[in-house]
Chain A
Amino acid sequence: MNTNFAIVIYRVFYFLLHCVFTKFETLQAFYKSQKNKLCHEFALVNDKKHFGKLGKTPTHLTVLLGGEEPSPKDLANLILWCMAAHITFISFYDYKGSLKKHENELHLVVEKKKAATDHVIWHSHPDGAWKNGYSGRKIHVKVLSENDGKGGVVDLTKKLARTSETDISIESFDAGLREQFEFPDPELAVCCGKTFCLYGYPPWQIRVTEFLNVDSHHNITFNHFVNLLQIYAKCEQRFGK
């Protein structure tokens, strides 16, 4: 009887503990949403004014949408803000695959928002081939889905098994995956949603990627974006040393 009573007490305590956490998270989310309403997004940003003091910026920023439905207007903002911050590559990972299906919608929103001299290179588009000698701001964009994750490693292993290749070093494997992935390894990853999880993101490429978590990419503000870059700029890598 005593054990059953103890179990009941533990269950009540457990339930109350999680209620407290839920209340806290709700209040935190409300505070953040009110704070965001006071900020406004910048469609065109002054590069030097906002990014001059950063020190270092990633070459490749990757955004993991997590369980969220893609919001084209906010993803378009991220593309343009990255371009202003001179980030050369941006990728979006949507494990559910809905962004890949509706990528054209994102293309249209970006075309409307960008300046005439901005050049956005879509890597999923057959005509997105990179052309040389183009002036103005530019950025490479790629949409990834679950098949690009572990599936990429499987595909490369199958390819190597079918050739006469016997040298499978880290370097040669890396070279093979790099060719497949097209982009350099991301230095910064932004995970969206309350659950902080990779959801099958390509494992090989995230060896030394810095990971930040945001509650949602929906209505993400420019200030929040700059804040993420500021946190990244402060990260120091020792590479084992």
Chain B
Amino acid sequence: MDGNRRFAVKNNLLKEGGYSRGFGKILATLRWCKELGIKEITVYAFSIENFKRSRGEVKTLMTLAGDKIQELLTDDEIVNEVCVRIIGNMLLWPEQLKQKCAELMLKTKDNDEMFLNVAFVYTSRDEIANSAREIVAGVKSGAIEAEDIDEGLISDCLYTSGRPDPELIIRTSGEIRFSDFLLWQISHSQICFLQVLWPDVSFWYFLVSIIQYQRHCNDLKKPGSRQVKSERVRKFLDRLQQRRLAQLQDFVR
């Protein structure tokens, strides 16, 4: 979702205007996905690296995030049809947003028509290191053994656990790097870099990316089939999910 600030400059708006239009584009993209039969989308809203921006800008972004999460909470279509997951380092979420983020996730967790994952206070390295940390703690506590560690287990301990990897990754605004986004999950995805700024993305740009995916999807190597999980691994993963759920419930109280 790159290009919000450049969009604001181009259209003589304040930065908030650019970000606000960018948020609107998420909802539009969700509608396009629904039309095309695409069930899931993951967007990169705020990187842990973005805390390096000026205090004023970070405050603006967080205030806007709070407003937009509130909007989603009162949007019937979202609450009833979309499973919203906010993926990122929960402990680094600003205090004033923890409750709203948790509320949105808990309210929509049982929806299964569409899935919207919002990477918020996220970096892929933080996610992978966190996954490794959980696994190492699991081995040290005796819940699992070192020999249980494989690619599947690391995937299952990521913030995106339980969701399939994306088949297509799109970055807008002409940049040609991933900036620490879903590095583990995009191993076998079709890559599409678009010149257009995120708030300027129209359905036709989106369609071009889909067509590119369609033309190459047979060449994308599918990841190997996962090993059957042992009982102790399944118990370990269940406990991890329960802990994360409990953390969210804690934020709401």
- Quick check: is B99 within 8 A (CB to CB) of the other chain? no
- Quick check: is A184 within 8 A (CB to CB) of the other chain? no
- Comparing A78-86, A131-139, A207-215, the segment that makes contact with chain B is A207-215
> In the complex, how many angstroms separate the beta carbon of B100 from the nearest chain A beta carbon?
23
* CB pair A201 B136 closer than 8 Å: no
Interface residues as binary, B137-148 with A (CB distance below 8 Å gives 1, 0 otherwise):
001100000100
Q: How far is the CA of A206 from the CA of B125 in the complex (A)?
A: 10
Could you say which of B52, B186, B220 contacts A239, with CB atoms under 8 Å apart?
A: B52
Closest to B192 in A: A196
- Quick check: is B221 within 8 A (CB to CB) of the other chain? yes
- Quick check: is A122 within 8 A (CB to CB) of the other chain? no
* CB pair A204 B128 closer than 8 Å: yes
For residues 185 through 207 of chain A, which have their beta carbon under 8 Å from a beta carbon of chain B? 191, 193-201, 203-204, 206-207
* CB pair A241 B188 closer than 8 Å: no
Q: How far is the CA of A153 from the CA of B215 in the complex (A)?
A: 32
Contacts of A209 in B (CB 8 A): 177-178
* CB pair B150 A154 closer than 8 Å: yes
* CB pair B129 A173 closer than 8 Å: yes
* CB pair B136 A168 closer than 8 Å: yes
Known: A150-B151, A207-B179. A240 touches B50 (CB 8 A): yes
- Comparing A44-52, A110-118, A157-165, the segment that makes contact with chain B is A157-165
Q: How far is the CA of A67 from the CA of B51 in the complex (A)?
A: 39
- Quick check: is B75 within 8 A (CB to CB) of the other chain? no
Could you say which of B149, B150, B179 contacts A208, with CB atoms under 8 Å apart?
A: B179
Q: How far is the CA of A197 from the CA of B188 in the complex (A)?
A: 6
* CB pair A157 B188 closer than 8 Å: no
Q: How far is the CA of A198 from the CA of B178 in the complex (A)?
A: 12
Contacts of B189 in A (CB 8 A): 197-198
- Quick check: is A169 within 8 A (CB to CB) of the other chain? yes
For residues 24 through 57 of chain B, which have their beta carbon under 8 Å from a beta carbon of chain A? 47-53
Known: A198-B187, A210-B177. A154 touches B129 (CB 8 A): no
The contact sample of 7 A-B pairs, CB cut-off 8 A, is: A21-B215, A154-B151, A198-B186, A198-B188, A201-B187, A207-B180, A240-B50
Chain B positions within 8 Å of A, measured between CB atoms, are: 47-53, 123-126, 128-129, 132-133, 135-136, 139-140, 146, 149-151, 154, 175-180, 183-184, 186-193, 211, 214-216, 219-221, 223
Chain A positions within 8 Å of B, measured between CB atoms, are: 17-18, 21, 67, 95, 149-151, 153-154, 156-158, 160-162, 165-166, 168-170, 173-174, 191, 193-201, 203-204, 206-213, 235, 237, 239-241
